[in-house]
Amino acid sequence: MTHLVLLRHGESLFNQEGRFAGWRDVDLTPVGCQQARHAGRLMARAGLELDLAFVSWLRRARRSLELALEGLGSPGPPQAASWRLNERHCGALEGLAQEEAHARFGARVVEDWRNDLETPPPPLEPGDPRHPAHDPRYAQLASGDLPAGESLRQVLRRLQPFWEQDLSPRLAQGQRVLVVGHGVCLWGLTRLLAGPSLPRFRMPNANPLLVSLGPGLTLAGLRYLDPDRTLPLP
């Protein structure tokens, strides 16, 4: 039996302020840095060994990986970054405080955008400075790959090539993999692994989720390493 460890980044500045972060490249708070180091210590106490680590292109995830490996206290595994692991793009909600978004669009409408599988938030206009087309890091990507606002279904489609080409072949070889990213995308990877019957769930910041895998990459179990700081699992 092999395993996959999913780690949502530590508390970010936008988490602290109650803002929709999406693809906005915000850093960790001091608390988030402490959380990320502690996540590494939790993995060390659990005796987890890692062969490879994947991370998104966003600063809060990359910094969390760096600090978690410090906390792990051993030479880190090889690392690879993928833009496909970036958080769900929140469209017109990017950077807004939740109260501001509720006042502008309506609380029920905003919650539908957040939770409905098919309904995306309003997309950003191409000229909006928040659009990823204005970020030089994404200049090499095809314009059709750049999201301006995503539904949960669109996030799953974005993740599918990463799952098929990068992650699942390594897990099938028995490699032990850490993925450091963001709540929606980590849920998406779990759903791609487990199938469409897996319901939506949310992950706490920087609490490693150990995904145990059986033959044929069947889902054998989900367990947070810190049982005192969890959100419900399916």
For residue 178, what is the domain's CATH number? 3.40.50.1240
Amino acid present at 205? N
Q: What is the mean pLDDT of the segment spanning 128-145?
A: 94
- Structural domain includes residue 120: no
Average pLDDT of the chain is 95
Residue found by looking up tokens 């949502």 in the block = 8
- Structural domain includes residue 182: yes
- Structural domain includes residue 12: yes
Would you say 121 and 90 are in contact if contact means Cβ atoms under 8 Å apart?
Answer: yes
Q: How far apart are CA 234 and CA 219, in angstroms?
A: 12
- Structural domain includes residue 81: yes
Q: What is the pLDDT, as a whole number, of residue 231?
A: 80
Annotated catalytic residue within 3, 11, 87, 131: 87
Q: What is the pLDDT, as a whole number, of residue 111?
A: 94
User: In sequence order, which residues have a C-beta less than 8 Å from that of residue 234 and are 6 or more positions away?
Assistant: 198, 199, 201, 222
Q: What is the mean pLDDT of the segment spanning 24-32?
A: 98
- Structural domain includes residue 198: yes
Tally of CB atoms within 10 A around 226: 15
- Structural domain includes residue 95: no
Q: What is the pLDDT, as a whole number, of residue 232?
A: 83
Give the sign of the dihedral formed by CA 37, CA 40, CA 44, CA 49: negative
Burial level of 166, CB count in 10 A (0-12/13-18/19+)?
middle
Is the pLDDT reported for residue 1 higher than 70? no
The total number of structural domains in the chain stands at: 1
Q: Which of 55, 66, 50, 92 is nearest to 186 (CA)?
A: 55
Is the pLDDT reported for residue 208 higher than 80? yes
Is the pLDDT reported for residue 234 higher than 80? no
- Residue 74: pLDDT band by 50, 70, 90 thresholds? confident
- Residue 42: pLDDT band by 50, 70, 90 thresholds? very high
- Structural domain includes residue 178: yes
SS (H, E, C) the chain: CEEEEEEECCCEHHHHHCECCCCCCCCECHHHHHHHHHHHHHHHHCCCCCCEEEECCCHHHHHHHHHHHHHHCCCCCCEEECHHHCCCCCHHHCCCEHHHHHHHHCHHHHHHHHHCCCCCCCCCCCCCCCCHHHCHHHCCCCHHHCCCCCCHHHHHHHHHHHHHHHHHHHHHCCCCEEEEECHHHHHHHHHHHHCCCCCCCCCCCCCCEEEEECHHHCEEEEEECCCCCCCCCC
Tell me the percentage of the chain whose pLDDT exceeds 70: 100
Whether 164 is catalytic: no
Write phi, then psi, for 97 (nearest 5 degrees).
-70, 150
Domain carrying residue 21: 2-87+151-224
Q: How far apart are CA 11 and CA 213, in angstroms?
A: 28
Q: What is the mean pLDDT of the segment spanning 66-79?
A: 92
Is the pLDDT reported for residue 197 higher than 90? no
- Structural domain includes residue 96: no
Would you say 208 and 43 are in contact if contact means Cβ atoms under 8 Å apart?
Answer: yes
Encoding tokens for residue 25? 């490249």
Q: What is the DSSP letter of 165?
A: I
Whether 70 is catalytic: no
Annotated catalytic residue within 3, 9, 89, 182: 9
